[in-house]
Structure formats: structure tokens, C-alpha cells
Structure 1
Amino acid sequence: MDNNTALTPQEVADILKIAKNTVYELIKRGELNSYRVGKKVRVDITDVNEYKNRTKSMKINPSAVPDNLNANPAYVQFYKEPAQNSGFVICGQDIMLDILSRHLQMHPYGVPALRSYVGSYNGLYELYHGNVHMATAHLWDGDTGQYNIPYVKRMLPGVPAVIIHLASRFQGLYVAHGNPKGITGWEDFRRKDLVMINREKGSGTRVLLDEHLRRLGIPASSISGYGRESTSHLAIASTIARGGADIGVGNEKSGQQVKGIDFIPLQTERYELVIKKEDIKKAPYITVLEILNSQEFRLELEGIGGYDLSELGKIIAET
């Protein structure tokens, strides 16, 4: 396409894969240059390309990443410029966040969203340091029996935050179909005849396991396979299904997607969104809250299944 090509708002929308109303909002906010020919709005292709390049996530040279991030490869992979300079960043791993990002981009008052696929603990760390706009968490505290609130208080010290409920999900154990090893619960991690595969440090699932091991007095060093890590529920379930391990921790929904896996439910977890309180009345955040409470978003998640959405969009705590 010629660099001097003039585009209609609909043509811009087709290129960017967004709604035409969103194009008008970008123009109104001064994020996309335009001009008028009579009563018609036109946008040069060069301005569209400039907008795309400006909102792309950056490729990071590991040597340029701050020293405190180099210790964790997950930070190197998803590290971006501070949030105010890198687009609207939503941190977390569940597929519902991909759906939320799409709704946010298509909303008349929405913004293009970037996704950072790191676990709950690391997500809160990034939120505290201003590298993401929103983080999700499903972090269970073994002392209080609460999800998320104790961690938000500890990991965002001095930073008032709002916790918004997304969904509840079953967490439990993945075992081979038919449960040939007769596994029933957390106590089975004492057994010497079982080999596990673990989630990565910082994930809510890893924290859940470690808290139960602490409460039961089971040393992590005594568990075969404890140090072998994978970064998704699907990868854990797949490894067990093909005989690479006997046991792993994950959620019910992901286990249902892998043939040859049985799921042993152990507890209901709360998956929640964390936002700094100072941001809650800013335009993109208001739009997110509107989406979370919309019928369209709820129906799409209900169609996927595997979530308890009875408290979707409810503010459950302020810290």
C-alpha cells in the first residue's frame, strides 16, 4: 500500500482489527492523526503505521534489563517499559484475560491491551513497580485460609489497592486416567513411589502446593520431581497423561482439555483482579469494570464453562 494512501475510518478499523467507533475515539483522544476532506474524516496510512509501532510491545535485549529482573527469566520475557509508556498491560495467565483484552479493544471507550503471561506473585510485583496496569491473583494464604487479600497487603506496601472478583475455580490434582496410583489428596505428597511435576515459582498453583506442604510438614526436598517445573496447567496435565509424572497440581478446566487425565478436586480458589486505588476512576479502568459487569462478557465466559461467575465484577476488598 502506498505511503500516501488516505484511509476511511472503516478501512483503518479493518487494518487494526477494531471497531470503527474505536477509531473515532483514538482520533478524539489525539492518539491517531487525521484530517478532513469536506465532511469526511481521512487518515494517512503512514499515521496508522506510526500508531501501530508506537503501541507495540518492545523486544528486550536481556543485557538492557535491570539487574533485579535478570534473576528471573519470566521477567526478561515479559518485561516492558513502565506501564505509562507501553500501552495498557494486563498481567495474568487465564484465558478469560485474553477475552477481556479483546472486549477492551473493541469497546467504544476502550484501548488496545497488551498481555503479560506471568504468575500471580510476579504479577503483583510488576504492579507494585508500575510495569503493568492490572494484575490477577489466586494466591492462597495457609495461615488465614484467605485468597489474595493477605498477599496484596504484603506485596503492595503503602499502596491502596482494589480487589475485584473474576471467578471461582476448582483446584486439585491431575492423575493418570483411572488413578492407577490411588491418589486422594495433599497427604500423598509424602509417598516415595510418586513422581510429580511442578508449576513455576510465583504461580498461584505453586504457592497453593507450597502452603499445603508447609502446613503438613512435608519437606519439598523429599518429593521426587518437585524441582521440575512447567509454566502452564496444560503442560502439567499433558506430561502426566503421557506417563512423564504421576501427580501435579492444576485447575479442573485445563485438565478437561487433556485426554487421559483424571482430576481430583481439593479446594475452590478465587481468581481476582488487582488495581491500584488511585487508578480506579480513570477511563480505561472504568471501561474494564463496565465490561466485567456486562451481559456479553458473562455469556462468553459461561459458554466456555468451568467458572463460577456468581461474583464476577464485584469489588470484594480495598486495602
Structure 2
Amino acid sequence: MVYNESFTTEEIAQLLKVSKLTVYDLIKKGELKAFRVGRQMRVDAKELENYKSRGQEVRSVQGTESSGMARQIVISGQDSSLDILARQIESKTSDLRPLRSYSGSLDSLIAMYLGKADVVSTHLLDGDTLQYNIPYIRKMLVSQSFIVIHMLQRKAGLYVAKGNPHGFQTWKDLAKQGIKLINREKGAGARVLLDEQLRINGISKNQLNGYEDIQTSHLGVASVVANGRADIGVGIEQSAKVANIDFIPLVTESYDLVMLKKEDNARLINMVLEILNSEEFKEELRSLGYGVEKTGEVLYKQ
């Protein structure tokens, strides 16, 4: 890395795989030093490397009695409900310090397998069984002992322009001629949902104009449809409302959490279960339009 280089907050967010809000919070807390060029905040490359080195030093002493430092736990996934969970954990204890990673479902599971994530969210549809998450988790964490806890239900489907000018109704409509798609990145649950529906409905990805054009969030996909640069995309209902576009609900997703069952995770698992089963947490999810009928229910243990 060239040390006379500097990065914008957006570039820092992409490099660290966190949100811009997290970057601003790090700057506000003095953990990441920034300078202003006009109206733009920038961070030197050397400062970024120093910040990452400090993080590695903290992780290397994590869990040792002599360190006296809070254990950092990485919560990986993109839904805003995970930010609520992180805040609740932080408010309940000073021994655990939640950090957020905004990776997709498959990438989050891979991070857990590699020991780089502690709480992972998934919404992965298995097209053969029409079951969410557990078929993927069992295969990817085959050598691990884990627990799967239901967090929320949410509607997923198609983003279309206001008034649905192309008359989209089902997954089969993805094959319509002259249609422009906007896709999600590899590893995202919405990308898996699209690919499974294409397979189930016998549609080749090569038929889709825009299959290789990607956005890295539900809101990003919805915004591209809203500004007319694409006719259709796949995502969740909440982002369609924000982007002021129409939404065609086609599936109800089970959005679940995964944690490894190991001795040093016992307290974390109990705390997450306590939070998810609290009425306060469920009420926050309801306010976002999510279903909470089974929130906090243990779905699977291995």
C-alpha cells in the first residue's frame, strides 16, 4: 500500500466491510484519525494500516485473563436488526464488544468457518427442499458444533417500478424479453434466492440482461430500479418502501442466527437468546415490519 494515498469514508467502509455509519463512529471516537478536504472526510492509508494493526493486536489477546480487555465479537450480516442486536449486547455487558461486518449470508458462513465471525445471520433458500438455512449450515459447518436460532421473518420478492409497467407477477417473468435486471453480489442471500428460482423455473442466467450487474445491498438494488436503470431486482419489502417502488412478495424468508457451540461462547449464546426472547427486542423488530412469531426459537443444534 502506498502511504501517501488517502481514502474517502465510502472507500474505508468498503475496505473494512462495514457501513459508512460505522466509519463515522470510529472517527468520532478517535479510533480512526481523519482529515477534511473541503466537505469530504479522508483517512490516510498509513492511518488505516495502523488501525487494522491495533485491531489485530486486540484480537490476539482476546479472551486472556491478563488482558483485562473486552472480547470482540463479530456479528456478520446486512439486516438492520443486527445493529439492534449489537446495541442490546453492548448495553448489557462491558465484557463483550460487538463489531459489525456487513457481508452476505454465504460469505458470513465462510467467515464463521474460518474463525472470523461469532454471530452469523443467514437467509439461504435450498431449492430442493424449499427449506431455509439449515441445509447450507449443515454442509458448511459439517465439522463444527453449532446452534441455529430464529430471528425474524420477512417478505422477499421482486422490485419493480411504480405501477409495475411490465406486469411482473412471478419468478417466471424474469425470462421476459427486453427486461433489464440488477443483481446482488455473490454470497448474498438474495443472489442465492434468484439463482435457486432460476434453476427451479428452468431459466438460464444467460437469458438475463444485467445478471452480471450488481449492487451490494437490498437498498442499492431498489434504488437502481427506482431510477430506471433496471426493470427488476430481487430483495426484501422494507427497502422497496424506502426507495418508493412497487414490491411483489413471493416468499417469506426465515432470517436466522448461527453461533458455534463451544465453551467460550456459552455466555454469548445465552445473552443472544435472552435478547431475542425479550419483548423489547421483538417490539423493535415489529416496528420495522418484521414477523416475530418464532423469534428466539432454537431451530437446530449440532
Asked whether the two chains share a fold, i.e. TM above 0.5, the reply is yes
Q: Name the counterpart of 1:24.
A: none
**Given the alignment of the two structures, is residue 125 of structure 1 paired with residue 114 of structure 2, yes or no?**
no
Could you tell me which of 161, 164, 170 is aligned with 1:176?
Answer: 161
What is the CA–CA distance in structure 1 between the aligned matches of 2:183 and 2:138, rounded to whole Å? 27
Superposition deviation, residue 59 in structure 1:
4.7
> Which amino acid in the other structure matches residue 254 of structure 1?
S
> Which amino acid in the other structure matches residue 182 of structure 2?
I
**Given the alignment of the two structures, is residue 212 of structure 1 paired with residue 197 of structure 2, yes or no?**
yes
Contact kept in structure 2, 1:110 and 1:284, CA below 8 Å: no
Contact kept in structure 2, 1:185 and 1:266, CA below 8 Å: yes
Superposition deviation, residue 279 in structure 1:
4.9
> Which amino acid in the other structure matches residue 145 of structure 2?
P
Q: Secondary structure at the match of 1:87?
A: strand
Could you tell me which of 161, 179, 191 is aligned with 1:194?
Answer: 179
Q: Name the counterpart of 1:294.
A: 278
Q: Name the counterpart of 1:101.
A: 86
Q: Name the counterpart of 1:229.
A: 214
Contact kept in structure 2, 1:171 and 1:269, CA below 8 Å: yes
Q: Name the counterpart of 2:267.
A: 283
Contact kept in structure 1, 2:76 and 2:119, CA below 8 Å: yes
> Which amino acid in the other structure matches residue 313 of structure 1?
G
> Which amino acid in the other structure matches residue 79 of structure 2?
D
TM-score between the two structures when normalised by the length of structure 1:
0.72
Contact kept in structure 2, 1:171 and 1:268, CA below 8 Å: yes
**Given the alignment of the two structures, is residue 162 of structure 1 paired with residue 147 of structure 2, yes or no?**
yes
> Which amino acid in the other structure matches residue 240 of structure 1?
V
Bigger drift between 84-93 and 215-224 goes to 84-93
Superposition deviation, residue 222 in structure 1:
1.4
Contact kept in structure 2, 1:173 and 1:266, CA below 8 Å: yes
What is the CA–CA distance in structure 2 between the aligned matches of 1:139 and 1:117, rounded to whole Å? 16
What is the CA–CA distance in structure 2 between the aligned matches of 1:270 and 1:138, rounded to whole Å? 6
> Which amino acid in the other structure matches residue 212 of structure 2?
G
- Equivalent residues in 2 for 1:234-253, closer than 5 Å: 234-253=219-238
Structure 2: runs of 5+ lacking an equivalent:
1-28, 33-46, 64-70
Q: Secondary structure at the match of 2:199?
A: helix
> Which amino acid in the other structure matches residue 75 of structure 2?
I
Could you tell me which of 237, 254, 268 is aligned with 2:252?
Answer: 268
**Given the alignment of the two structures, is residue 203 of structure 1 paired with residue 209 of structure 2, yes or no?**
no
What is the CA–CA distance in structure 1 between the aligned matches of 2:169 and 2:137, rounded to whole Å? 32
Aligned residues: 247
> Which amino acid in the other structure matches residue 293 of structure 2?
S
Q: Name the counterpart of 2:295.
A: 312
Cα deviation, 1:6-58, whole Å, max 9, x if unaligned, reads: xxxxxxxxxxxxxxxxxxxxxxxxxxxxxxxxxxxxxxxxxxx99x79xxxx9
Contact kept in structure 2, 1:83 and 1:130, CA below 8 Å: no
What is the CA–CA distance in structure 2 between the aligned matches of 1:60 and 1:286, rounded to whole Å? 35
Instruction: Using the aligned pairs only, state the percent identity.
Output: 45
What is the CA–CA distance in structure 2 between the aligned matches of 1:289 and 1:254, rounded to whole Å? 27
Give the greater-gyration-radius structure (CA): 1
Q: Which 4+ stretches in 1 moved above 6 angstroms?
A: none
> Which amino acid in the other structure matches residue 206 of structure 1?
R
> Which amino acid in the other structure matches residue 239 of structure 2?
S
- Equivalent residues in 2 for 1:14-33, closer than 5 Å: none
Q: Secondary structure at the match of 1:269?
A: strand
What is the CA–CA distance in structure 2 between the aligned matches of 1:100 and 1:275, rounded to whole Å? 14
Superposition deviation, residue 284 in structure 1:
2.6
What is the CA–CA distance in structure 2 between the aligned matches of 1:247 and 1:198, rounded to whole Å? 9
Q: Secondary structure at the match of 1:273?
A: strand
Contact kept in structure 1, 2:59 and 2:72, CA below 8 Å: no
> Which amino acid in the other structure matches residue 231 of structure 1?
T
Q: Secondary structure at the match of 2:243?
A: coil
What is the CA–CA distance in structure 2 between the aligned matches of 1:286 and 1:83, rounded to whole Å? 23
Structure 1: runs of 5+ lacking an equivalent:
1-48, 65-79
Cα deviation, 1:233-292, whole Å, max 9, x if unaligned, reads: 111111111111000000111111112x10001011100000112258622332122111
More strand by share: 2
Contact kept in structure 2, 1:83 and 1:89, CA below 8 Å: no
Superposition deviation, residue 104 in structure 1:
0.5
Superposition deviation, residue 111 in structure 1:
2.0
What is the CA–CA distance in structure 2 between the aligned matches of 1:83 and 1:270, rounded to whole Å? 36
**Given the alignment of the two structures, is residue 144 of structure 1 paired with residue 129 of structure 2, yes or no?**
yes
C-alpha distance 222-88 of structure 1, shift in aligned 2 (>3 A): same
What is the CA–CA distance in structure 2 between the aligned matches of 1:274 and 1:82, rounded to whole Å? 23
> Which amino acid in the other structure matches residue 198 of structure 1?
N
Cα deviation, 1:104-135, whole Å, max 9, x if unaligned, reads: 10114662200000000000000011111111
Superposition deviation, residue 138 in structure 1:
0.2
C-alpha distance 244-125 of structure 1, shift in aligned 2 (>3 A): same
Cα deviation, 1:81-119, whole Å, max 9, x if unaligned, reads: 689577111000000000110111011466220000000
